[in-house]
Amino acid sequence: MYISNMQHFLDEQGNIPKEMPKEARELASFFALVIDTTTKFNPKRLSATNIRCFEKGCPGTTRVEILHPNEEIHWMCSRCENEGKISQWQGTKWDNGVSK
């Protein structure tokens, strides 16, 4: 289970720093995609997306939901045990307005 605070992946301008280690950068990019997709439709129950699981060799896609009342984004692979929660995503450049 990945428990992630999105702010920890961003620089002062709200970008994913280019000098970040590759693995952390890939993870941050995945979280950004999850935030972008989730905040487009504000799912209250686990819902399918076309975001590919980042686990090597896993053919699964990512399911997402917004938990209430704390608005954490819960994401979960449809095939493997890859799963996590993202907090502090509100106001990032991938926030499409659920919290605005």
Q: Which residues bind Zn ion (CB under 5 A)?
A: 53, 55, 58, 60, 77, 79-80, 82
CA distance readout (Å), 38 to 18, 46, 56, 86, 92 = 24, 10, 23, 11, 13
Q: How far is the CB of 86 from Zn ion (least distance, A)?
A: 17
Measured from the CB atom, the residue of 10 and 53 that comes closer to Zn ion is: 53
35: nearest Cα among 78, 100, 90: 90
Measured from the CB atom, the residue of 17 and 60 that comes closer to Zn ion is: 60
Measured from the CB atom, the residue of 45 and 56 that comes closer to Zn ion is: 56
Q: How far is the CB of 7 from Zn ion (least distance, A)?
A: 25
Q: How far is the CB of 97 from Zn ion (least distance, A)?
A: 28
Q: H or E element: which one contains 38?
A: helix 22-41
Q: How many residues does the chain have?
A: 100
